[in-house]
Amino acid sequence: LIIFYYLQYSTKCIQKQAHKEGIWCCTWGENRNRNKQYIITGSLDNGLIAWEWTNSQLKCLYQFEGHRLGVISVDINSTGTLAASSSLDSQILLWDLETGRLTKTYDGDPADTWTIAFSPDSRFLATGSHTGCVNMINVQTAQKEGSIQLEGKFVYSLAYVSFLFCCIVLN
């Protein structure tokens, strides 16, 4: 079930049976050049769906396939052209939102891809892990550029703010 409430227009949209299993993650992004707004949802059914918000309705744009286990984190880059998804299968998949095609795959270590976030310039993808590691993945090459150890704390969530990112960790 997806409940989307668009504050600007006081519009509520309910999408029932969006996935076969529970939705674990979602994100919103906008492609201003194409005047499109997207919502990406990820589920325990291994599925990832790109929805387009148009005429106060959610329209299924793409049903991405590629993960072997549940999708646990999604993000859209700042230009609204690329989506990233991470899964319990330890893979990060990058998707072109204009064509619906898989563009890159990053194979992480087990439990290294719990949460993901694009950098503001869309050049990097930060990943957070169960083991307290934050990895920086180059979006063009799908290679790890560096990592930060956070004393073994579970990195539950990541977010960028301008030139820095913050992590929410569990003790």
pLDDT at 111: 67
**Residue 42 to residue 90: CA distance in whole angstroms:** 14
Q: How far apart are the first and last CA of the chain?
A: 31
**Residue 169 to residue 171: CA distance in whole angstroms:** 7
User: Strand ranges (DSSP E) for the chain?
Assistant: 2-6, 11-15, 23-31, 36-43, 48-54, 57-64, 71-76, 82-87, 91-96, 102-107, 115-118, 124-128, 133-138, 143-149, 154-161, 164-170
- Domain segments of the chain: what residues? 23-170
Mean pLDDT by runs of 10 across the 171 residues of the chain is: 52 64 87 92 90 82 92 95 94 95 90 86 91 90 90 81 64 59
> Is domain 23-170 classified as CATH 3.40.50.300?
no
- Structure token pair of residue 74: 């999604």
pLDDT at 50: 94
pLDDT at 101: 97
